[in-house]
Structure 1
Amino acid sequence: MGIRSFIAIDLPESLLDLVQRIQKDFRKMGFSFRWVKPEQVHITLKFMEDLAPDDQLAIQEALTETAAQSAPFALTLQGCGVFPNLRAPRVLWLGMGGAIDALGVLQKRLDRFISQKTHDRIAMEDRPFKAHLTIARIKGGVDAKPLLTALKSHAGFQSEPFTVSELHWIESRLNPTGPVYRHLSTVSFGAKASEP
């Protein structure tokens, strides 16, 4: 059986504190969601459910090449919402602002390299990439009205910018108490950031 893993961008500590504060806001409003631990909050670029040992070297190569062709850029956390919709919410998320185009280019480049290096055993994503941070998972029904009020109260929220300059490959093992993460590899971007 292969490993369950993903490639992601980690957040600086200051922003993880901010995530925790937003989770507390929702708790105070009476929502008892399944909260994602702040240290497990990240921007997922590629998820791989069952990665064969033979493909692990290919993933490392794809990661290295993606980073070598990427330059640092800045993002912010901005606004929040739910997937798939207010009538049947499953995920509470924080949105992204800043250099979203650069993030999209990075995700596509990574996706393409992984597909090439694994000879399409790991296919490219067919859904459009939506940059977000999952901060809670929602089980059971939720009254849409108070949830909409809570979301509106955080609609104008925006964090300080943070710089994205490396990628993390992380194994995720599922336990009854939640996923346990183990860092497999971290690669830094090789290209220089262009001057504004």
Structure 2
Amino acid sequence: MSDSVTDTRYFLGIPFPEDVRKELRRFTPGRSAGIRPTAAKKLHLTLHFLGPLDRQHLATVVEEMRRFQAAAFSLTIVGAGQFPERGRARVLWAGVESSAALTELHRRTAEMLAKAMGFSAEKRRYRPHITLARCQSSVRQRELERFQQATKSLQIANIVVDSIVLFRSQPQQLSAGYAHEYERVAEVRLR
């Protein structure tokens, strides 16, 4: 697949250890009519979506990440829902409990990106979540109700956040459409 600016996207995110991803998969709906579950290896918490980057901006972001420092912290995954909240669901997600440490990391990484590439912060409030599945227009209401029932008890506490990663997302053509493959481009260890 080409690495053209038009098909490759980048985002800054928090990766989860394998045990957390496995636990999240227990709450992820299986593939069914209208639901495409997120593969366990792709489960992460997005801090900032950057979109396409040219080589110069990519190099600048990686360089700024090398200088970035922040403290490790813990977070809790709790609850689930859908986007949009009303109407036809497009995304099924697991929630992340708001914390001062996560809010601060989001703010500071936005400042880092602004310095690196003139990135401007989104106007929308940051709503931390993990995408568990994407819904197509053919999704049945009973599938959504099953998801809501299954995730009532979703809570994973004391997850140590000790790194942030710049991910590259590239679409891959499949027989039944496409999927995005994620590649780690740069990583910052939090102390």
TM-score by length of 1: 0.83
Q: Which residue of 2 aligns with 1:107?
A: 106
Distance of 1:189 and 1:63 partners within structure 2? 11
Aligned pair 1:8/2:13, yes or no?
A: yes
Distance 2:22 2:147 in 1: 19
Give the unaligned 5+ runs of structure 1: 191-196
Percentage of matched positions with identical amino acids: 24
Deviation at 1:101, TM superposition (A): 2.1
Partner of 2:55: 53
TM value normalised by structure 2: 0.85
- Could you say if the C-alpha distance between residues 48 and 109 of structure 1 is closer, same or farther in structure 2, counting changes exceeding 3 Å? same
CA distance in 2 between partners of 1:12 and 1:164 (Å): 9
For structure 2, list consecutive stretches of 5 or more residues without a partner in the other structure.
none
Of stretches 122-131 and 8-17 in structure 1, the one that deviates more from structure 2 is: 122-131
Give the letter aligned to residue 43 of structure 1: L
Counterpart CA distance in 2 for 1:146 and 1:47 is 29
- Relative to structure 1, the CA distance from residue 149 to residue 36 in structure 2 (aligned partners, 3 Å threshold; closer, same or farther) is closer
Pairing of 1:4-83 with structure 2 (within 5 A): 4-23=9-28, 26-27=29-30, 32-66=34-68, 68=69, 70-83=70-83
State the Cα deviation string for residues 149-185 of structure 1 (Å, max 9, x = none).
5314422321132100111111111112311121111
Amino acid at match of 1:8: G
Aligned letter for 1:104? T
Q: How many residues align?
A: 182
- Give me the whole-angstrom Cα distance separating, in 2, the residues matched to 1:82 and 1:106: 24
The correspondence of residues 92-171 of structure 1 with structure 2, limited to 5 A, is 92-97=92-97, 100-118=99-117, 120=118, 122-144=119-141, 147-148=144-145, 150-171=147-168
- Could you tell me whether the CA contact under 8 Å between 1:5 and 1:47 is conserved in 2? yes
Which structure features the higher share of strand residues? 2
- 3-state SS, counterpart of residue 168 of structure 1: strand
Distance in 2 (CA, whole Å) between partners of 1:131 and 1:64 is 24
Q: Is the 1:76–1:159 Cα contact (8 Å) retained in structure 2?
A: yes
Are the equivalent residues in 2 in contact too, given 1:16–1:38 (CA < 8 A)? yes
Considering only aligned residues, what root-mean-square deviation do their CA atoms show, in Å? 2.1
In structure 2, distance between residues paired with 1:75 and 1:12: 13
Maintained 8 Å contact 2:82/2:92: yes
